[in-house]
Structure 1
Amino acid sequence: MVWFHSIWKLAVPPKIQCFLWLAILNSIPMKVFLSSRGVHFSPDQLRCVWCGQVEECCSHILLTCPFSSRVWGYVLKWWGISWCSPCSLSSFMLAWDGCSFGGIIYKRWLIVCATSLWSLWLVRNETVFNSKVWDGLQIFFLIKLCSMF
């Protein structure tokens, strides 16, 4: 997988590269991951902080939760892209390996994707640890700001 190996070449800070690597390996400390490592949660505590419908795992928080899907909708509209949301981060990254972007535009798109995933993670943490409520549009503007360097 080209994307998988290009993480280390992305023009993003190393902490984002490490985050992406851990996300691909399903090793981000989400509630389901922590539970599998012996951290005890009640069934209600395992649920997604945004939708409360399913257990919080990496793919759900970063891709398939209705909240994160809304954020991705803004990002994709910004880039003029339509897509079908993949069910896993591996599928997500595989989908972009064969995209029709070329050269600098492709590299730019990968930066936007990395920034989007990172921003969703940061916002999730703000929600969990500081009870901060975010709007999808606020996150989109954060993504635009962080990816425009």
Structure 2
Amino acid sequence: MSLLDQTGQSLVSVFYNFISTVHGTCNHPIHLVWNKQLPPKVQFFSWLAWKYKLKTSVFLQRIGILDGSASTLCIFCQEQQETAEHVLISCHLVWKVWTGLLQWWGTTWVVPNSVSNLLLWWSGFDCRKSERRIWNAIPLVTLWSIWKHRNECLFQASSPNLQELQELIVTRIAIWLKAASTKLHFSINDFLYNISAIRHCINEG
């Protein structure tokens, strides 16, 4: 049985195009994770987080890398065990970062219980095509930035400063997106403090 139709297209491709035409583009975290607008390190980290492959303290202790007496508490709150879900999403200090970013964008949500559900919700959010380039970058840069800050606190003895992390995340998004596309004409300052105006004037494409 041939997997190609009369035009030479694969049947999977034909079926996908049909579904997209009838129901709209299929949303799936994989399309969000491999975002070519962002550095490869951010894409790869997001894939690791999505696939539950992060080397958290709890994971390292479970496989014997960390001694049984070593602390596995979250480096930020020092209250809960450092699972991927906790340190990236549900830690009450980290959650303030997510809440601030969503308020910056002008929306709210209910906290997801996993990175997978976070990306699934994010990929299905309804926004204009011109805005989606920015919207899709937010969760990936946020996850990577939180983990990077976690490592700085853990390995460089830095003090957690999640209050400034939100602004740093927005700055990184602006710099990386501007570097990836010549169609985004805005200043970093406007991106930080006037996102509503940018969302209404950014070019399509």
Global fold match (TM > 0.5):
yes
CA contact (8 A) 1:10 1:111 kept: no
Question: Alpha-carbon deviation of 1:44?
Answer: 6.0
Name the CA shift for 1:20/1:127 in 2 (closer, same or farther; >3 Å): same
Q: Does 1:84 align with 2:110?
A: yes
With normalisation by structure 2, the TM-score equals: 0.68
**Letter matched to residue 149 of structure 2:** V
Residue 74 of structure 1 is matched in structure 2 by 100
Residue 5 of structure 1 is matched in structure 2 by 31
Of stretches 105-114 and 58-67 in structure 1, the one that deviates more from structure 2 is 105-114
User: Structure 1 stretches of 5 or more lacking a match?
Assistant: none
Q: Deviations over 1:45-104 (max 9, x none)?
A: 111111122210111111000111011111111101111111100110111232111313
Q: Deviations over 1:13-45 (max 9, x none)?
A: 111111011111111111112123221344661
- 2:170 is paired with a residue whose SS is helix
Q: Does 1:118 align with 2:151?
A: no
Residue 94 of structure 1 is matched in structure 2 by 120
CA contact (8 A) 1:112 1:147 kept: yes
User: How many angstroms apart in 2 are the aligned matches of 1:88 and 1:137?
Assistant: 23
Q: Does 1:130 align with 2:156?
A: yes
**Letter matched to residue 101 of structure 2:** V
**Aligned residues with identical type, % of pairs:** 30
Q: Which has the higher contact order (CA 8 A, sep 6+)?
A: 1
Task: Output the aligned Cα RMSD.
Answer: 1.6
Q: How many residues align?
A: 149
Of stretches 21-30 and 127-136 in structure 1, the one that deviates more from structure 2 is 127-136
Question: Alpha-carbon deviation of 1:131?
Answer: 1.7
User: How many angstroms apart in 2 are the aligned matches of 1:15 and 1:135?
Assistant: 22
Question: Alpha-carbon deviation of 1:125?
Answer: 0.6
